[in-house]
Structure 1
Amino acid sequence: MTRTALVVRGGWEGHHPIEATDLFLPFLRSSGFDVTVEDDPQVYADADRMAATDLVLQSMTMSQASHEAIRGLRDAVAAGTGLAGWHGGIADSFRASSDYLQLVGGQFATHPSKRPDEVHGDQTDNYLDHTVEITDLGRTHDITAGIDDFALTTEQYWVLHDDLIDVLATTTHPVQPYHPWHRPITSPAVWTRDWGQGRVFVSTPGHSLDVLQDANVRTIIERGMLWAAR
């Protein structure tokens, strides 16, 4: 039986929403999904369309969505539609909507930068060597089972979150003399969330196309989409 996937992409162009989601469209189609693409979150307000959607793949950094759109997304997920995404496309979307933030369960706060003498004024200022560590839950979860801790050099998300999320992987921000915090901060890097009859999946790694093509990151996202789908 064919399932339906709705890809909603747009927002800040720095995350290459078209090229990034295009990386995963062949996987979705080969996994039995009929895929459609929209560039406006207002599609979430179409109740009939959303009820017929088994998976929403969202890549919409920042941007805005109407109250009706957010309510439609929340209602759809609660009724069983899956929601999945990575990086700012899901964890830094619709900042002005507390209802959206509650649905996703975690919100980008910052990505710490390099030492002041290494900062040049471009995106690479925030590319840090760091480790994504699989949690005990993650070692047995369908999304991350068999994946070991792995290293990345990219943005390391600091996430504000609640304890309704199930954390499959974390990353720790160390104490540095040029930053104002005084003890290491551990943030969720991969998490899931049960919401009504639906499921939410988030991977914070995914800033750029090369990160999305990292074998570990790509596997986690592919598995995460399948896990979240109705």
Structure 2
Amino acid sequence: MRCDDQSRLTTERLANALTVEHGRKALVVRGGWEGHAPHEATDLFVPFLEKQGYEVTRADSPAPYADAAFMAGVDLVVQCHTMGTIEPAELKGLEAAINAGTGMAGWHGGIADSFRNSSDYLHLIGGQFACHPGKDPAEREGSQADNYVPYTVNMLPEAGTHPITEGIADFDLVTEQYWVLTDDYIDVLATTTQKVRSWDPWHREVTSPAIWTRRWGNGRIFVTTPGHSVDVLLHDSVRTIIERGMLWASR
């Protein structure tokens, strides 16, 4: 069986396992820094969610998080909101929903670099973007591409049997390589290693999580750090991991 066939079947098994009698509801929150194309990026995954039976609501801010009655009926939050701010009532509502069983999923800065004004949000997600070391300064031209470097996403042994990553091998990308700060209460499925180059100030290689999950109350959280641009999200492995991650996180 080809790898892409195996990946498709694994995704289908995960979707079938989540089948319920009533329709599921997903909230897609997109906004913040436009450099991550939050509308275009999330629109890639809405048809997939609808095919899995979700009723999808889109929001351009985290304001719906503060609506307790609405959030009680949300099975999955997909967030693509880089930076920006979150109000205390919004964060409290998001935390309460996840504690009660709502799942949360996202990629790149849309989940791992959101709401820098809130340490409680960082505590909820379990990891925070720190930097994405770029090219040799002599090669930089002042565009986002200055931060695109070749790197590998390395699957850990645990990834081989996890429904999000089963059947997916290590893969290479040329895009932003996230260096993230994390705690020990995450379950890491894949990592990526920052090399030491002649212009870098650090003195040894640094390995960061690239895909992780977190259980919070009755809810599940899924994070993957690749996903800077639409073309990265269209990479077969990245897209499959996100699709499965959303299904895994969902109530």
Residues in 2 aligned to 1:207 and 1:184: alpha-carbon distance in whole angstroms: 22
Per the alignment, residue 38 of structure 2 pairs with: 17
1:215 lines up with 2:236 in the alignment: yes
Query: Are 2:141 and 1:125 aligned?
Result: no
Alpha-carbon distance between aligned partners in 2 of 1:42 and 1:112, rounded to the nearest angstrom: 33
Q: TM-score, normalised by structure 1?
A: 0.99
Structure with more helix by fraction:
2
Aligned twin of 2:102: 81
Contiguous gaps of at least 5 residues in structure 2 = 1-21
| Alpha-carbon separation, structure 1, partners of 2:157 and 2:116 | 31
Query: Over residues 77-102 of structure 1, what are the superposed CA-to-partner deviations in whole Å (9 max), with x where a residue is unaligned?
Result: 01100000000000000011011000
Structure 1 residue 118: deviation in Å? 1.1
Query: 5 Å matches for 1:63-78?
Result: 63-78=84-99
Alpha-carbon offset, residue 4 of structure 1: 0.3
Distance (whole Å) between structure 2 residues aligned to residue 66 and residue 8 of structure 1: 15
Q: Which runs of 4+ in 1 moved over 4 A?
A: none
Q: Does 1:193 align with 2:214?
A: yes
1:166 aligns with 2:163: no
What corresponds to 1:39 in structure 2?
60
> Tell me, what secondary structure is at the counterpart of 2:151?
strand
CA distance in 1, matches of 2:98, 2:159: 23
Asked if 1:4 corresponds to 2:33, the answer is no
**Residue-by-residue CA offset, 1:74-133 (whole Å, 9 max, x unaligned):** 111011000000000000000110110000000000000111111111100110000000
Percent identical: 63
Separation in 1 of the partners of 2:134 and 2:77? 32
Q: Which residue of structure 1 aligns with residue 3 of structure 2? A: none
What code does the residue aligned with 1:30 have? K
Amino acid at match of 2:80: S
Secondary structure in 2 aligned to 1:171? Answer: strand
Count of aligned positions? 230
Q: Tell me how far 1:27 sits from its aligned partner.
A: 0.1
1:101 partnered with 2:138: no
Distance 1:49 1:135 in 2: 37
Q: Partner of 1:226 in structure 2?
A: 247
In 2: Cα distance, 1:150 partner to 1:213 partner? 14
* One-letter code aligned to 1:107: Q
The root-mean-square deviation of aligned C-alpha atoms, in Å, is: 0.5
Matches within 5 A, 1:50-61: 50-61=71-82
Partner of 2:202: 181
Equivalent AA in structure 1 for residue 104 of structure 2: L
Q: In structure 2, what is the Cα distance between the partners aligned to 1:2 and 1:186?
A: 40
Structure 1, unpaired ranges of 5+: none
